[in-house]
Amino acid sequence: GTWTSEKLHQSRAENPFMMTWVPGQARDNIPNMTHGEGVYLYDDEGNKYLDWTSQAVCANLGHSVPKSLVEAAAYQMTQLPFTYGGIGMTEVRTRMNQLMAEILPGNLRAAVFPSSGAEANEAGIMMARRFTGRQKIISWYRSYHGATAAAGAATGDFRRWYGSDNNPGFVKAFNPFPLFFNHGGNGATEEERVQSALNMLEEQILNEGPDNVASIMMESIVGAGGCLIMPTGYMQGIRAICDKYGILMHVDEVMVGFGRTGKLFGFQHYDGVMPDIVSAAKGISGAAIPLSMTACSEEIMTFFEDKPLGWGSTYQAHPVALATAYEAVKFLIQNDIVGHVQHLAPIFEANMQRLADQHPCIKQYRAIGLFGCFDVQDLTGAIPKLQHEPAHDAFHKYKQAYHEAGLVGLHRYPHVHCSPPLVITEDELLDGFDRLSTAITVLDDALGF
Ligand code: PLP
């Protein structure tokens, strides 16, 4: 039977467990969720929360799993829950591959289906290194690529400091954003600043030795780093640098892939940019089951026809995960969820603007599709360092107010992330912004504005 809240609390006190990016004792303040419906989650104390970040930007279909996913998972689990890829091929793997071939742009093809975003990146890094015979991976400071060894080393944000940094062959570059943001960029116009950023990257590559660089790896729209949309011409410039030096362009679509930004993939916002490797996860299954994907160009696929990729995991191409995700992707297409996101995008953006106008603690924001981020400033106009645990007591008050306003979501100060499930209605979206505004009013006050 169901455990009472009391029993749950008691058990947790007696049998502690770890949290991932926050200290273990943080578990004591997290609500115990019992069920979900649409964009809402319910806890064991009868509270109802609007999920304002789709959990970790993954529960894109909300918390009522479409029946087709449940049936497909149950059918696959009944028929054949698992075969290991190297021993038994399944129909569902072939079907998923074909579906991906139909929706992936250009000559991109699904190569492997691991379980997590980090693993999809590991596979992509291995592909790049073996295909080019080179070692170095260039990635951005403002990035997150996962917590496994190579993905963690490619990660630029503070989470690599715990130890995954100790991995040779990873080189960090500045994304253009911090340059513009902190120093106004190098140049009078955006075009000049973009060119300057690209020149610096090329100079860096020349110093690393172009023949040593396997790939440039980047999020098409940086997620955890604060919804960073690349300026016009920048991604095209990276593509050109990659072509010039035989470097592969690896785009991490783990957070924004499968519709979040109003396109199926984030890189499709940049005209004419076609990556060589694409990693995706989260939205591919709407988080109903763990599944990720690494896709690559036909050229890379052909290269591995007569040699192993040299990377794998037991649950790569797990049949139940594939069966579930197959239906999730079909649901996305048949219900034109991307069209729905495009329809809501102007309303989303207008409300981001409204809150930025209303709240003095908001310095600036960025928004695209149903993906947005506010940067919070302090009284001096400075934006505090990115971290999970708030530097300032004001953020604790904000977090409490957010909870009391009936929102649940991911907090990473100084960012306020906005990424509700893609199936949200207009009314729910407006309600969400009102709730958020209530919480940000508390933050304004607590910061002394
Ligand atoms: N890449 C990006 C852009 C992400 O946002 C994340 C997770 O947030 C990952 C990779 C890692 O995915 P996972 O946590 O499934 O390993």
* Statement to judge: residues 38 and 89 lie in one domain: no
12 within some domain? no
Pocket test for ligand 1, best of 20, 57, 254, 261 (most atoms within 8 A of CB): 254
Nearest CA to ligand 1 atom 5: 255
16 within some domain? no
Nearest CA to ligand 1 atom 7: 146
* Statement to judge: residues 327 and 422 lie in one domain: no
Looking at residue 403, its pLDDT comes to 96
18 within some domain? no
Nearest CA to ligand 1 atom 12: 117
281 lines ligand 1 (CB under 6 A): yes
Looking at residue 384, its pLDDT comes to 76
Contact 226, 216 (CB under 8 A): no
* Statement to judge: residues 185 and 324 lie in one domain: yes
Which atom of ligand 1 is nearest the CA belonging to 256? Answer: 3
Choose the final residue of a domain: 334, 363, 385.
334
CA of 254 to the centre of ligand 1 (A): 6
Choose the final residue of a domain: 299, 318, 334.
334
1 within some domain? no
* Statement to judge: residues 296 and 343 lie in one domain: no
116 lines ligand 1 (CB under 6 A): yes
Which atom of ligand 1 is nearest the CA belonging to 121? Answer: 10
* Statement to judge: residues 176 and 283 lie in one domain: yes
**Residue 74: count of CB within 10 angstroms of its CB:** 13
239 within some domain? yes
Looking at residue 183, its pLDDT comes to 60
CA distance 357 to 373: 14
Choose the final residue of a domain: 302, 334, 366.
334
Which residues, listed in sequence order, are joined to residue 172 by a DSSP beta bridge?
Answer: 139
* Statement to judge: residues 317 and 229 lie in one domain: yes
Which residues, listed in sequence order, are joined to residue 412 by a DSSP beta bridge?
Answer: 415
Q: Which of 367, 374, 386, 372 is nearest to 418 (CA)?
A: 372
Burial annotation 116-140 (CB, 10 A radius, 16+ → b, else e): bbbbbbbbbbbbbbbbbebebbbbb
What number is the ipTM of this complex?
Answer: 0.99
CA of 223 to the centre of ligand 1 (A): 9
Count how many Cα atoms sit within 13 Å of the Cα of residue 16 in the half-sphere of its side chain: 9
Which residues, listed in sequence order, are joined to residue 362 by a DSSP beta bridge?
Answer: 376
* Statement to judge: residues 50 and 145 lie in one domain: no
255 lines ligand 1 (CB under 6 A): yes
Nearest CA to ligand 1 atom 10: 145
- Tokens 């907090």 belong to 411
Q: Indicate the number of domains in the chain.
A: 2
Which residues, listed in sequence order, are joined to residue 271 by a DSSP beta bridge?
Answer: none
Six-digit token string for 446: 């607590």
* Statement to judge: residues 130 and 48 lie in one domain: no
CA of 117 to the centre of ligand 1 (A): 5
CA distance 378 to 366: 18
Six-digit token string for 42: 């319910």
> What DSSP letter does each residue of 57-92 carry, written as one string?
HT-TTTTS--HHHHHHHHHHHHH-S---TTT---HH
Looking at residue 28, its pLDDT comes to 85
287 lines ligand 1 (CB under 6 A): no
Please give the average pLDDT of every successive group of 10 residues along the chain, which has 449 residues: 87 93 88 96 95 98 97 98 94 98 98 98 98 98 96 95 91 80 72 91 98 98 95 96 98 98 98 98 98 98 98 97 98 98 98 98 96 94 75 87 97 93 98 98 96
Q: What DSSP state is assigned to residue 54?
A: H
* Statement to judge: residues 262 and 397 lie in one domain: no
CA of 438 to the centre of ligand 1 (A): 30
Looking at residue 416, its pLDDT comes to 96
CA of 266 to the centre of ligand 1 (A): 14
118 lines ligand 1 (CB under 6 A): yes
The CATH code of the domain that includes 227 is 3.40.640.10
CA of 347 to the centre of ligand 1 (A): 27
* Statement to judge: residues 309 and 426 lie in one domain: no
219 lines ligand 1 (CB under 6 A): yes
The whole domain housing 388 covers 31-64+336-446
11 within some domain? no
252 lines ligand 1 (CB under 6 A): yes
Looking at residue 166, its pLDDT comes to 86
Looking at residue 392, its pLDDT comes to 74
128 within some domain? yes
Q: Which of 434, 425, 410, 355 is nearest to 51 (CA)?
A: 410
Output phi, psi for 203, to 5 deg: -60, -40
* Statement to judge: residues 381 and 297 lie in one domain: no
CA of 258 to the centre of ligand 1 (A): 14
402 within some domain? yes
CA of 88 to the centre of ligand 1 (A): 29
Q: Which of 344, 322, 367, 337 is nearest to 426 (CA)?
A: 344
* Statement to judge: residues 329 and 345 lie in one domain: no
Amino acid identity for residue 347 in this structure: I
Looking at residue 22, its pLDDT comes to 87
Nearest CA to ligand 1 atom 1: 145
Six-digit token string for 255: 């957070």
The CATH code of the domain that includes 381 is 3.90.1150.10
